[in-house]
Structure 1
Amino acid sequence: MKKIVPAVKRTVVKIVGNKACSGDDEKVRRLRIMNITTLIVVFAAVFWAVIDWFVLGRWLQPIIEIAGAFIGVSFLWWQRRIEDIDLTTGIFIAIFGVAILLINFVNGISSSNSFWLFLTPLFAFFISGRGSGIFWTVVAFVYIFIVSLLANRGIIGGYVDFEFILDMLSVFALISFFAALYEGSRRQAQRRLKEAKDFSEGIIDHAPVGIYTVDLRGVVETLNPAMTKIAGGEQADEKVGVNVLDLEPYRKSGLADRFSRAMKTGQPFEVRNLEYVSLHTRKRTVRHYRGIPIKATDGTVKRLLVLVEDVTELRGIEEGRELLIQQLASKNEELERFVYVVSHDLRSPLTSLRGYVECVREDVEEANRDQLEKDLRSMEKIAQNMSQMIDDLLKLSRIGREEYCAEEVDFNQLVEKVIDNVSIQLKEKGFTTKVQSGMPRLKVYARPIEEVFNNLIANAIKFTEEKPNPRVEIGFEEKETEYCFFVRDNGVGIPKASQAKLFNLFFRSGKKAGTGIGLTITKEYVQMNGGRIWVESEEGKGATFWFSLPKK
């Protein structure tokens, strides 16, 4: 018995289902009900055939009933192999209607079998729709009228009471009328439900944010196109049928715990700025997650609705804005320092020049030629310093506005050219120079990089010339993604407290400091080429200026 029940159940399910017919859920549902009805009618026909033959001793009715059962089984076998559901339901109603009419014709309109006629319009309305219901209602009306007329004329069966016929037609009309009303209301409700479903699906499909649902196990049930795009298309982590609670990024980020907690408590949650790295594409995105538990009428959670917004681009814009704000703040600070220092550094020489003008007048009046020469040399030096400052300021102001063309540069040749430009100065002051061989060839802005070496070597000369055995060394180190070049001297060095500010505008360190603009210009030129600059030094032990340039 334990084996028979599951076998019967599997057979019934196999008969009721129809894999060939798919697409319209309502039609498929009707087809299954029709198959169940056919199966019931087949069993009922076999049952009554047995009763009629063995109990009531009839012979015609059992033949009709067995034939009906055979037709029903044949229909079940045949309809599983076609895809047109409308044709299948139409044939079913035709077979059912003809069978009921035939049984009533054989047994007589006044017998109890006539009540089966009431099922004909009901099934026609429910399974095939309003048109079929009206057709079979008319057929049944005409049938009852003709059979009653033939019976009362003595052609078939016995006499049928007129009142019985009238009552039967009235009841039949009422049943058909209410069946038609029900079918119309049902179709209208179905249409509204479909419109509402299409409307909600349209909103979800065209929503700019990702939307997907997961069941209580964490398995993805549905997801919209926006979510597919956010997740990475065909190589997405989140797909229908995937358990997101098992995904490594969900577990590591704590998102899986938030999902589980929301399903248990029924409380919504929100996670902002979550950095998600896809398992398949390794693409990094920044996302906002919002989980909303979907509850049944009894308050139990049935699934979780998840809204996902990709804010990677927005995050980049925000970071760019923050960087821009920092740069603007830095530029404003430099501008304030610039205004202050320029006004101070230009006013001070002018004040000194006015003082020397008075001294020159006195020297002329006193005819003191030696003092006059000395004062004029001091005035000339002040004027040269002012001219140098103005030249440096103009050079700094042009950075970013001048256009350069990147070209491939042999750095050994570039350094040799810079050394040649200052060779006389190096020779007069007894410098030893060492240039590392095998320097790379890089595509850079040549003129700015030449200026970088000029400034760094000039600084090395200035702060090393009074040391015994002055030395300047130029070389490089190769890193994974960049080359790091250096200019090293054995001069006075730079105090630790000054190193962090060394590249700031107008910052001066030591007695021989110049305008305080040269190293700022150097930093700007290095950054223009995508590099960075820094210094390593100990006071009294020289300094090494480093700057990097990317390989590509």
Structure 2
Amino acid sequence: RQLFELESDAIFVIDNETGEILEANPAASVMYGYSHDELLRMRNTDLSAEPHRTRQAMAQRQSVIPVRWHRDRAGRVFPVEIMASFFTWHGRFAHLAAIRDITDRWRAENQLRESEQRYRAVIDTSPDGILLIDLAGVVLMANQRAAGLGGRADPADLIGRNVFELVAPDERDRSLADMAQLLREGTLRGVEYSILRDGEERVPVELSASIVRNADQQPQAMVVVVRDITARKQAEALVAEHNRDLARVNAELKSSNEELDAFAQTVAHDLKNPLHLVIGFAETLRDIYLSLSEDERHDALRLVIRNARKMNNIIDELLLLAEARKAQVTMTPLDLSRIVSDVQQRLMDVVHDTGATVTAPAHWPLVLGYGPWVEEVLMNYLSNALKYGGRPPAVELGADLQPGNWVRLWVRDNGDGVAPREQGRLFKPFSRLEQAQTKGHGLGLSIVRRIVERMGGQAGMESQGEPGQGSLFFFTLPLAD
């Protein structure tokens, strides 16, 4: 009886047939707001907010009712938990009902449910993949986005799988090392991987993770957030490509400016010398024309004409350079025998004057190129060989096949050659060599390189830089089918 009176839960003795309250403890009066006498005049259904369920529970003799809704004297409806035991009370079949107000617990559980619903809504609507994995990497929970990144329609398809199966094979060792770091340090931020969608398609992702610990601060699991960075990588690639293009344009602009500076110096030098001679001889003829003999007049005029032609040749070279920079040409099979013959005819006087010997093969391979340009390249190489070769010049022309269906055409002389330290500058636009200050290599060979590259080939030279060993100047063209 003392326990009955002191119990903090409401305790009733209730007739199981009629529902009449036969006895109640003080806690019952406190819970429902009725006096003890008032309670003894009531039935249990008078305290219920759902009397039909109360009658049903008595009929079924339910001993445990987790949740039932009751109403107190003030009309407040509140949740209760009921434990019942059935027995005989003064000859009447009754049950002892211990009733606990679970309002606080219900409110806490309801708040927890709402919190879980909010949490689930955040997780499921997150644009990032979110996974909960155990310490071995097995997936315990995944949201919809994580399933999509892995090529799955349902997050449940990821549950039980090892997360490392999603990582690209060539990056799994690194991911294992990062997981070890996560266990040591507790967090991992902004690590990039490639994961496999449907086991095949590589998807670039950025991953961050943290450790979930128990009350004893021991690691229990890991929360992993995975972000698809495909769009970012594509944007980075576009930026990198743009930067490369910008760097290339800047380099080309710088090169063009450097070429322009060198061009001005070279053209001024190459035009100035013959122009001075023309002016000098013209002034001489003007001042002492009558005192000169007929032969002296002819010599002076011949020198004027020769230097005027030099200036004309320089202008022709400049026009050819401009054409090589802009013109669109068609590559066709070339008759090299005819082109070589035309070049030799153009240089016939030089060959005669220098006493040179020029040898060339009777048969040439069929190559693809642009005839006027190929003739100018051979003209440049052969004229340089005649001017700067040995005395007398011995010049040889030839061709040989190269790997990949290419033909190397070459001109070899017997001159002093070019020092190794200066060979790298030889084909640079408007560059002059120390040993060729008066030879004019700068302009002509830069044009050669330009037009050969426009035809898809390469221009170069070979030389030991020793007197008598000479030099070999070559260029390549594709072999015609």
Q: What's the TM-score once normalised by structure 2's chain length?
A: 0.60
- Residue equivalent to 1:295: 211
- Whole-Å separation in 1 of the counterparts to 2:252 and 2:280: 41
CA distances 1:55-81 after superposition (whole Å, capped 9, x unpaired): xxxxxxxxxxxxxxxxxxxxxxxxxxx
- Residue equivalent to 2:469: 541
Q: Shift of residue 508 of structure 1?
A: 4.3
- Whole-Å separation in 2 of the counterparts to 1:398 and 1:303: 66
Greater helix proportion: 1
Q: Shift of residue 503 of structure 1?
A: 0.8
Q: Which runs of 5+ in 2 are unaligned?
A: 1-50, 71-76, 80-90, 152-160
- Residue equivalent to 2:298: 373
Greater strand proportion: 2
Q: Shift of residue 433 of structure 1?
A: 0.3
- Residue equivalent to 1:264: 184
Q: 1:418 aligns with which of 329, 339, 343?
A: 339
- Residue equivalent to 1:430: 357
- Whole-Å separation in 1 of the counterparts to 2:394 and 2:281: 38
Instruction: Report if aligned partners of 2:406, 2:477 keep a CA contact under 8 Å in 1.
Output: yes
Change (3 A) 1:293 1:182: closer
Instruction: Report if aligned partners of 1:389, 1:515 keep a CA contact under 8 Å in 2.
Output: no
Change (3 A) 1:331 1:198: same
Task: Specify which structure has the bigger relative contact order, considering alpha-carbon pairs within 8 angstroms and separated by 6 or more residues.
Answer: 2
Q: What's the TM-score once normalised by structure 1's chain length?
A: 0.53
Change (3 A) 1:362 1:339: same
Q: Are 2:58 and 1:104 equivalent residues in the alignment?
A: yes
Counterpart secondary structure, 1:502: coil
Counting only pairs closer than 5 Å after superposition, residues 217-296 of structure 1 correspond to structure 2 as 241-243=163-165, 247-248=169-170, 257=177, 260-266=180-186, 268=188, 292-296=208-212
- Residue equivalent to 1:491: 414
Counting only pairs closer than 5 Å after superposition, residues 35-434 of structure 1 correspond to structure 2 as 104-105=58-59, 113=62, 116-117=64-65, 119=67, 185-186=111-112, 188-199=114-125, 201-202=126-127, 204=128, 241-243=163-165, 247-248=169-170, 257=177, 260-266=180-186, 268=188, 292-296=208-212, 298=217, 302=222, 310=233, 311-405=236-330, 407=331, 409-410=332-333, 413-424=334-345, 425=347, 429-434=356-361
Change (3 A) 1:467 1:242: farther
- What count of residue pairs does the alignment treat as equivalent? 377
Q: Which runs of 5+ in 1 are unaligned?
A: 1-96, 108-112, 123-133, 138-156, 206-210, 230-238
CA distances 1:124-167 after superposition (whole Å, capped 9, x unpaired): xxxxxxxxxx9xx9xxxxxxxxxxxxxxxxxxx96999xx9xx9
Change (3 A) 1:275 1:466: farther
Q: Structure 1 counterpart of 2:411, which letter?
A: R
- Taking only the aligned residue pairs, the percentage that are identical comes to 20
Q: Superposition RMSD on alpha carbons, in Å? A: 5.1
Counterpart secondary structure, 1:485: strand
Q: Shift of residue 472 of structure 1?
A: 1.5
Change (3 A) 1:216 1:303: farther
- Residue equivalent to 1:40: none
Change (3 A) 1:248 1:446: farther
Q: Shift of residue 498 of structure 1?
A: 2.5
Q: Shift of residue 104 of structure 1?
A: 1.8
Q: Structure 2 counterpart of 1:403, which letter?
A: Q
Change (3 A) 1:342 1:243: same
Change (3 A) 1:361 1:324: same
Q: Structure 1 counterpart of 2:297, which letter?
A: L
